[in-house]
Amino acid sequence: MSYHVCLVCLGNICRSPMAEVVVRRTLADHGLDGLVTVDSAGTGGWHEGAPMDDRAAAVLSGAGYDGSAHRARRFLREWFGHADLVLAMDAENLRALRALAPPGADVRLFRSFDPAAPENADVPDPYYGGPEGFDEVLRMVQAAADGLAKHLEARVR
């Protein structure tokens, strides 16, 4: 049985799917792709079944990633039964997840795995901004993904 990480933002069309794609590649680069499963979801269900935001997909594609298979979904309370680690993209989603979480659930901010990030740092929502916001999200996600992979290496090996 593999260790399961779920990445969560608001609508599951920008930040968390970008993080899912990057984390998967990063884990593979660290030799963890068979030991850790990664998925993503949103705390809201507005975009359920929709593909990743075109701007997010374009930024990923430009960096050599493929997010074309993504379909948005809403995080359900029952998922705490199989998710070992649930990572929120920002404080708002962290609060929403903790309100759903059973005692002992491991729910944290995603950027807590980036040693260069300030304490309690969010991955800002780029949805209402321009393309530069998606570039910024990609940089933040890549930095945190590497720290997450190092953390998981110690847990699953």
Look at phi and psi of residue 129 and say left if phi exceeds 0, alpha if psi is from -120 to 50, else beta. Answer: beta
Whether 15 is catalytic is yes
Among 47, 44, 51, 42, smallest CA distance to 15 is for 42
Give me the catalytic one of 9, 14, 24, 25. 9
Q: Output the CA–CA distances (angstroms, integers) from residue 60 to 105, 138, 141, in the order listed.
A: 30, 8, 11
Whether 9 is catalytic is yes
Give me the catalytic one of 39, 114, 125, 146. 125
Give me the catalytic one of 15, 25, 55, 111. 15
C-alpha span between 67 and 54 (Å, rounded): 10
Whether 146 is catalytic is no
Catalytic residue positions?
Answer: 9, 15, 125
